[in-house]
Amino acid sequence: MKKDMIYNFAAGPAMLPKEVLIQIQQDIQQYKISQTSILELGHRTIEFENILSNVKSQLKTLLSIPDTYEILFTQGGASLQFAMIPMNLMHNKQADYILTGLFSELAYEEAKLYGTIRVAGSTKDMQYCQIPTQQMLDISKDSSYVYMCWNNTVYGSMWHTVPDTKGIPIVADMTSCLLTQQIDVEKFGVIFAGTQKNLGIAGLCVVIIRKDLITSTRTSIPTLMRYDVLSKANSMYQTPPIFAIYVVDKVLEWMKQQGGIQVLENQNKEKSSLLYNYLDQSEFYETKINPTDRSIVNVTFYTPNEQLDAKFIQEAKQNGLFNVQGHKHVKGIRVSLYNAMPIEGVKALLSFMIAFESRYKSFV
Amino acid sequence: MKKDMIYNFAAGPAMLPKEVLIQIQQDIQQYKISQTSILELGHRTIEFENILSNVKSQLKTLLSIPDTYEILFTQGGASLQFAMIPMNLMHNKQADYILTGLFSELAYEEAKLYGTIRVAGSTKDMQYCQIPTQQMLDISKDSSYVYMCWNNTVYGSMWHTVPDTKGIPIVADMTSCLLTQQIDVEKFGVIFAGTQKNLGIAGLCVVIIRKDLITSTRTSIPTLMRYDVLSKANSMYQTPPIFAIYVVDKVLEWMKQQGGIQVLENQNKEKSSLLYNYLDQSEFYETKINPTDRSIVNVTFYTPNEQLDAKFIQEAKQNGLFNVQGHKHVKGIRVSLYNAMPIEGVKALLSFMIAFESRYKSFV
């Protein structure tokens, strides 16, 4: 099969724009004036300093991040933030967590190691088929922050409005959606995202944090896990994951060339609508997520039975539509339509879905 | 300047073998049968499972690691081990640290957050010009482990024999020397190494740990920092830094093709001896490290004064000898002769040193 006919719908690590892959390939052998490969570049070089400051300024521009926020880069992925958030922010030993899927559950379990964690809202008893409404939330004024996962990669649901938390800072895991849509950064205290979905490769996490939340009161925290230490050292307290940061730089440049976040958001809405519109009229496929809470980047659905799901996944792969299987927690089918997925890929998927339905609908 | 005439003596991130860079470049566009780029490869794929198991088996073979040891991969570099080691291993709240340079000092400072840390030996008052002798060590039988840094990248010193710790497990930071020489793994409880010097790129740490030291008694440790969790999850509790692990795989293959660790050790000894022999007979250059404690991978030396050091660094660069400046803690000159540095690079450096000496010796 020709590579040009393959579309990778993986939820992450995910596909990268082709233009970015070509650029990276060129830089492997020689990186501009440093005359060493990007894979050999030191972090105490002007070249890397430029990359790091370029990543920051591009993020600031693309997301309209105000000067009252700082951008930090850490290792350990989004998962290490599950510990760093409570360690750094839970000054009064209590925080509110809203449960909307697997990754908010994991963050909740981790936070319980460090203080009293309240469930301020949960749709678990509905199998996470929807996002809690404002009325379903119970925010405590004594909590240091309210934690949420903006886009639920496993279930395919997404917040579409920022809840009112009565002034308590919101901490949002945006691993699977940062830079796929406009967000109003000022409504959040902390936004973080592992980079292996829309921003680049695995091994790096971007943390956008309101500066007043960076404090240094708990010195028993491992040094590398302190936001104040990372901030003071410009995210270079230790050797940072240079190549992963460089890849983000290239991806952000690509996003800018595409026209910025609004253009990408429009594309992602167009891509996901193509699928949702078809799913909604189909009597063969079913999507379980409440229409107003659907993700624009992770679309989940089911055929009439598990055998057909398996057949769908298998035949999709034969047709160049890779990695469409659902997460093991929910099974079924999941396709991820991150920024790098061209609309041609979604159209190819849709054609396949239509053909698959007409081939198998009489058997059920 | 042609790239073939450039030698990168950086202490890390450091140069990679050219053959490895070429291999990586090929895999960026397409990775074998997965038909996706290595930069897009998921961790739950057969391709990545193969890479991970290949890295482990190659490490086991190259270093003769017994089955009583486990190999773990973590993010956060060697620096996060400074916290993970005491968190996981300091069961009786006391550990011994031997101070031989900057990185053992940093590990010592971090460990103090978690218990009582004894200094079991230190050559700080000698400006770390030597490694402590057995007689200089004072190991407590009540300590959970004895911590050491095998090769001191900043100062250019190295342990050449494993000290007798009366059965207390030794934890050794081998970030700058793992795979540059034969080691007797069984003499250590834990060996760890950030990968950005001899094994690959930054963003990954390899931990070789005796299985009986992996316990699960302290559940208040952040989940991602627990060796038992990493071990149970085969280092995939979270999305691992896939590309960084893949690079290690390629570097290990290269090491095998070179003839294995004994061949590389011989080369590293030959390379460093070329420089030490010249330095010892020179009245212009000075190296401060005790002859029996010298590193075979980081050679540090000084010209007669700081102005000439600066000139040396500048002229070296003009001659294609990159990144020879000493660490800011000790200044002077430092050249790193890791596995990927060919002997031609060292010979080019030596020629330059001879010419520089003859050019400037009459001025001092």
pLDDT tens for residues B128-177? 999 999 999 999 999 999 999 999 999 999 999 999 999 999 999 999 99
pLDDT at A30: 72
pLDDT at B26: 85
Residue A32 has pLDDT above 70, yes or no: no
The whole-number average pLDDT for the span B330-355 is 97
The whole-number average pLDDT for the span B300-313 is 97
* Closest partner CB to B224 (pick from A6, A83, A196): A83
H or E element: which one contains A267?
helix A261-281
B222-257 per-position pLDDT tens digit? 999 999 999 999 999 999 999 999 999 999 999 999
* Pairwise CA distance, residues A73 & A77, whole Å: 10
The whole-number average pLDDT for the span B258-268 is 98
Q: What is the pLDDT confidence band of residue B218, given thresholds at 50, 70 and 90? A: low
Name the minimum distance, in Å, from the CA of B266 to any CA of chain A. Answer: 24
Model pTM greater than 0.90? yes
> What's chain B look like in SS3?
CCHHHCEECCCCCCCCCHHHHHHHHHHHHCCHHHCCCCCCCCCCCHHHHHHHHHHHHHHHHHHCCCCCEEEEEECCHHHHHHHHHHHHHCCCCEEEEEECCHHHHHHHHHHCCCCEEEEEEECHHHCCCCCCCHHHCCCCCCCCCEEEECEECCCCEECCCCCCCCCCCEEEECCCCCCCCCCCHHHCCEEEEECCCCCCCCCCEEEEEEHHHCCCCCCCCCHHHCHHHHHHCCCCCCCCCHHHHHHHHHHHHHHHHHCCHHHHHHHHHHHHHHHHHHHHHCCCCECCCCHHHECCCEEEEECCCHHHHHHHHHHHHHCCEECCECCCCCCCEEEECCCCCCHHHHHHHHHHHHHHHHHHHHHC
- Residue carrying structure tokens 């949002």: A172
- What are A80's strand-pairing partners? none
pLDDT at A324: 96
Inter-chain residue contact B203 with A241, CB threshold 8 Å: yes
Among chain B residues, CA nearest to A43: B13
User: What is the ipTM, given to two decimal places?
Assistant: 0.95
Name the minimum distance, in Å, from the CA of B147 to any CA of chain A. Answer: 18
pLDDT at B71: 98
The whole-number average pLDDT for the span A330-351 is 97
For B176-208, b/e burial (b = at least 16 CB within 10 A) is bbbbbbebebeebbbbbbbbbbbbbbbbbbbbb
Closest CA to B286 of B294, B296, B276, B271: B276
pLDDT at A302: 98
pLDDT at B63: 98
pLDDT at B102: 97
| Percent of residues, chain A, with pLDDT higher than 70 | 97
Residue A2 has pLDDT above 90, yes or no: no
Residue A33 has pLDDT above 60, yes or no: no
- Non-local (6+) Cβ contacts of B92 within 8 A are B142, B143, B144
* Pairwise CA distance, residues B9 & B301, whole Å: 14
Q: Which residues of A touch B36 (CB under 8 A)?
A: 6, 8, 15, 322
Residue B33 has pLDDT above 60, yes or no: no
Among chain B residues, CA nearest to A75: B76
Name the minimum distance, in Å, from the CA of B62 to any CA of chain A. Answer: 23
Q: Which residues of A touch B201 (CB under 8 A)?
A: 39, 241-243
Higher-confidence position of B59 and A12 = B59
Inter-chain residue contact A40 with B203, CB threshold 8 Å: no
Residue B50 has pLDDT above 70, yes or no: yes
pLDDT at B216: 74
pLDDT at A28: 85
* Pairwise CA distance, residues A190 & A205, whole Å: 13
Inter-chain residue contact B222 with A110, CB threshold 8 Å: yes
Inter-chain residue contact A39 with B21, CB threshold 8 Å: yes
A184-223 per-position pLDDT tens digit? 999 999 999 999 999 999 999 999 999 999 987 666 799 9
Among chain A residues, CA nearest to B87: A222
A216-275 per-position pLDDT tens digit? 766 679 999 999 999 999 999 999 999 999 999 999 999 999 999 999 999 999 999 999
Name the minimum distance, in Å, from the CA of A171 to any CA of chain B. Answer: 19
pLDDT at B29: 75
